Chains A and B, each alone.
Chain A
Amino acid sequence: MTGTETGAIDEESANQRPSRTAFFSKPMDTQIHSYQVNHLKQLESEAIFILRETAAQFERPALLFSGGKDSIVMAHLARKAFHPARLPFPLLHVDTGHNFPETLEYRDRFVADLRAQLIVARVQDSIDRGTAREEKGPNASRNAIQTVTLLEAIEENRFDACLGGGRRDEEKARAKERFFSHRDDFGQWDPKNQRPELWNIFNGRKHHGEHFRVFPLSNWTEMDVWQYIKAEDIPLPNLYFSHERDVFKRAGAWLAVTEFVTVGAEETVDHRRVRFRTIGDATCTGAVESTAATLDEIIQEVATARQTERGTRADDKRSETAMEDRKKEGYF
């Protein structure tokens, strides 16, 4: 075995980080032979394996694409997994209608670049059909009723597997998720009765009407995602980088002033330098005050963060088990 003498080389290349070529050619270019693979490469390889397994085991998979960084990374990995062919499945965007304009703009450019098929499922359509009911009040959000639209889209398109960008480090209920997560014919998750997953063998067998959620990024952390975005030079919506905007404080998080939220009488609007750590529905995705304007600064910020990234998500704060409850219903 020749893998022992790599320490010096690893240190050296660490100092001249990061360039795309250095990241990828590392095992091939080094003079001393090394079979060591860094953590990002291992995570990438695992995710690509899962994506290919999904294409192979299911008849009609789809990739859930929100325009957030995790789904962007997942779509990027899917492109790598099937290169030089196109993605063997469409992207599915569940659109609450409460988007930051930057997200939609990014989505359309990204999809065109990927030459992928995009299916948009609109929450508004579910509301018009009467299958979903809009929440009332100042805290009204379409976050919860997205599930209705998602399940309708799954049924309408007969999708049998939906790839999601969920990560186990995000939230405590997600820590229990499988890579291949089984859903019954009502789209529900039964966390107490999950299939054990061993080695890299994944059991996607199902009965008619059931489907799977598949999470290729299960083992990634927020830091891994940012490092990978940097190493791969993946363009992101500019919402992720520090910018100035009108915000107001609600439930401990800065919410952006948009046409979709009502600022209460006791709430005051502030103009601040902020960025978003996650991007979801504009009504419940909080910003953080930040001056991080580059990937390096963001990585530095993530390294020193004292709050989890979902700490800015009002949807998770509704109760201790908000995520678990929504997941059981069929949420992402």
Chain B
Amino acid sequence: MPNDLIFPDSPPSAQSTAGYLDMDLLRFTTAGSVDDGKSTLIGRLLYDSKNTFEDQMEAVERSSKQRGDENVNLALLTDGLRAEREQGITIDVAYRYFATPKRKFIIADTPGHIQYTRNMVTGASTANLAIILVDARLGVIEQTCRHAFIADLLRIRHVVLAVNKMDLVDHDQEAFDRIVEEFRRFASRLDNLVDITAIPISALHGDNVVTKSDKMPWYHGPDLLYHLETVYIGSDHNHVDARFPVQWVIRPHSDEYHDYRGYAGRVAGGVFKPGDEIVVQPSGFSSRIRSVDTFEGPAEEAFAPLSVTITLEDEIDISRGDMIVKPNNQPQKSQEIDAMICWFSEKSRLASRGKYILRHTTKEVKAMVQEVRYKVNINTLHKIEDDLEFGLNDIGRISLRTSAPLLYDSYRRNRITGSFILVDTHTNETVAAGMIV
């Protein structure tokens, strides 16, 4: 067992299975710089909630010894690749899973080194919540601002400011308050960061991680796990603007379903019900929903993020990439789009007038870069307008012209219909992530 990690002799008692079938799902990402104790925090969450296994812990202990680490290195729990263990670095986003009787959690654990921005953007794209770690001794540093900026850019609704290593500042309330105040001042310059919960913790000792600490009686908020278990995420999906990108057309050609023609897809927004009037874009044909089908039979409605099959009253020519919407609430339709992008490629730079493949919902088009408007210094939030060359990890705003109209919403309104990726036409690599303004 680790020396510097104060673990109980045996983990907390087994979870009961009651209620297991009715948990909901929270996806979160963790952001922190190298020594903020991110791995220790994740190890603590996994261990204290009884989500590590004996053989995993044994393997980690073995590897730590082999590497000559003084203590059991919990980072090894999240490092999967040979090169990572050999070099003691994290190369890629690693996904971790744990559950309590209330919720299932998916952690996107993103490494803190050079590819940080690219990895955090990737992890953040599917997250409901971001934990931003700061060292209580150092307070809000440049990296903290960067993490907050990315959380805001990717529109993560909920942010936890975890002020770690409180034991090293004598559990001092003033130190905590000062950091929180500083962070809020920075966050006020960001549009989307509204739900911020600040928690003083010590990941090493487990204070305020899965149980309330008695060392900080001045703190009246929740411990971290309680917050993760209870934060309300029910409204994170858009249930207002009906958007159904068609993914696949189901035509059984069987005797039983001779004329069946179903449009399969995953609802990207709003609610679809039998009888609803709809319009198919980009063709503009209208019809009515005959049924919302599932394997279990017809459903009364479908909403994000459910995968269903929609059939229509009229026979219309619809194929993958089309979008079923409502007549009174239509997405924007244009070949000119403005977007914030993050550049991912180490090998190539964004070429002005360059041509790329653009993937948006279930549609693929060609796109040409019209203009690079500015880059953002993500530590200061300043616009950079004199150096417009995009390299790895650069974030900024560009305009694109596409070979066919896109049906989209602003990213702020809908994460699914407002996001796209750019693909290099020669290497087929994903070179950028885009958020439509």
Contact = CB atoms under 8 A, between A and B. Distances in A.
A83 to B, nearest CB: 5
A227 B21 contact: yes
B80 A303 contact: no
A85 B53 contact: no
B21 A306 contact: no
Given A197-B122, A201-B421, A23 B21 contact: yes
Nearest to B104: A39
A8 interface: no
A219 B106 contact: yes
Of listed A53, A169, A201, A308, residue having the most chain B CB within 10 A: A201
A186 interface: no
B430 interface: yes
Of listed B294, B309, B344, residue having the most chain A CB within 10 A: B309
Contacts of B95: 168, 175, 218-219
B19 interface: yes
Interface string B226-255: 000000101101010000000110111110
Contact of A39 (B23, B78, B237, B303): B23
B359 A201 contact: yes
Contact of B248 (A6, A17, A55, A86): A55
Contacts of A39: 23-25, 103-104
B250 A201 contact: no
A201 B416 CA distance: 9
A14 B22 contact: yes
B24 A192 contact: no
A200 interface: yes
Interface string B49-72: 000011110010011000000000
B248 A205 contact: no
Contact of B307 (A35, A48, A306): A48
Contacts of B293: 83
Interface in A198-222: 198-201, 203, 205-207, 218-219, 221
B383 to A, nearest CB: 24
B91 A192 contact: yes
A201 B92 contact: no
A251 interface: no
A299 interface: yes
A314 B421 CA distance: 41
Interface stretch (A74-82, A97-105, A135-143, A264-272): A74-82
A198 B296 contact: no
Contacts of A311: 53, 55
Interface stretch (B9-17, B325-333, B395-403): B9-17
A234 interface: no
B101 to A, nearest CB: 10
A112 interface: no
B421 A38 contact: no
Interface string A49-78: 100110110000000000000000000000
Interface string B285-299: 000000001111001
Contacts of A192: 81, 83, 91-92
Contacts of B280: none
A307 interface: yes
A114 B176 CA distance: 60
Contact of B294 (A80, A168, A304): A80
Interface in B241-279: 247-248, 250-254, 256-257, 260, 262, 264-266, 271
A304 B53 CA distance: 10
B305 A46 contact: yes
Given A81-B264, A203-B423, A311-B55, A299 B97 contact: no
A304 B15 CA distance: 7
A221 B22 contact: no
Of listed A45, A46, A196, A219, residue having the most chain B CB within 10 A: A196
Nearest to B85: A320
B81 A173 contact: yes
A10 interface: yes
B146 to A, nearest CB: 18
A172 B14 contact: no
A205 B301 CA distance: 34
B307 A45 contact: yes
A305 B85 CA distance: 26
Contact of A45 (B63, B122, B305, B420): B305
B359 A85 contact: no
B82 interface: yes
B79 interface: yes
B266 to A, nearest CB: 5
B416 A200 contact: yes
A-B CB proximity, top 9 nearest? A3-B234, A172-B80, A80-B295, A304-B14, A85-B252, A198-B125, A48-B307, A205-B428, A39-B25
23 contacts: A17-B22, A24-B296, A35-B237, A38-B21, A38-B23, A39-B104, A44-B307, A49-B247, A56-B248, A85-B253, A172-B80, A172-B81, A175-B94, A191-B91, A195-B429, A196-B121, A206-B428, A219-B97, A223-B20, A303-B14, A303-B20, A308-B53, A308-B55
Given A38-B25, A44-B307, A197-B430, 20 more contacts: A4-B234, A23-B21, A27-B301, A35-B304, A39-B104, A40-B21, A46-B305, A84-B260, A85-B250, A176-B80, A176-B81, A191-B91, A192-B92, A196-B93, A196-B433, A299-B20, A303-B17, A304-B14, A307-B55, A324-B81
